[in-house]
Structure 1
Amino acid sequence: MRPAAPSDIRTVLRFWREAAEGTSISDDSDGVTRLVARDPEALILAERDGALAGTVIAGFDGWRCHLYRLAVRPDLRRQGVASALLAAAERRFRELGGRRGDAMVLNANEVAHRAWAAAGYAPEPQWSRWTKPLPG
């Protein structure tokens, strides 16, 4: 486990195309560069034998602990990579004073639902995510 460096950004973006479900408006070089520059510890990488095995973004804004882009290389799933990434993210949150983690999980991603549930996370049906793309 280690935080991503600017030199990892291209590799991470390629990895997400292979291992992550769906895309985000920030899944580009500019978006990930801003993340790493603003919070160098937020993008956590898991490596195995020198290759990227998984990622998670553990963002903390001083109020909430947000988890994004939990992704594990398909051939390494169900081998503890996601659990280790979440443990690292939760440790980071505790060290920063966070009290509860929340995760963005696609409604249709049943595999992710099982993984998040196994890690102790559950949906809160009383909330909906509202978004608005910002012109730029």
Structure 2
Amino acid sequence: MDQTEKFLHFFATINTLNRQINRFKSFYMEKKGLKGADLSVLLALNKAENGYRFDECCQIVRMDKALISRSLKHLKEQDLLVIEGETTYKVRFKLSTKGKQLTSYLEQEASTIFEKAHLAIDEEEWAVFYVFCSTLSQEIATQMKEKIETSKA
């Protein structure tokens, strides 16, 4: 397999996985009047008993900050969030009772689908996959940072 074929195979594989994740998000979220990006924010907030500040949410969800901001605003408009705190930097986002109920349902649905898919692959392979993805992501980020810095010089 030459370099171009490797790139094409890699991109096609990642895109296919991403398409399936987006299908899941669309199917469940659109039924509730929500957007796909809202799912990650809901799941993250469900693990935070005391809620998260915006920067903490960004760190956990790892999506574009503007997308997270729009998602938080949208979830608040849907009465799925409670905002606590008085100053912009100390505001904490927590799930409302309605948000907790919805997120519990979504977690159950995701668990059913992903656990069945997870069983098709051996645990050791999953461990290797997660290490591989993390390492690859970090390496690409490092290489891109260097390229960007070099191009600015």
Q: Same fold (TM over 0.5)?
A: no
Q: TM tier, shorter chain?
A: under 0.3
TM-score (norm 1): 0.26
TM-score (norm 2): 0.24
Q: Larger % of helix: which? A: 2
Larger radius of gyration: 2
Q: Larger % of strand: which? A: 1
Higher relative contact order (CA 8 A, sep 6+): 1
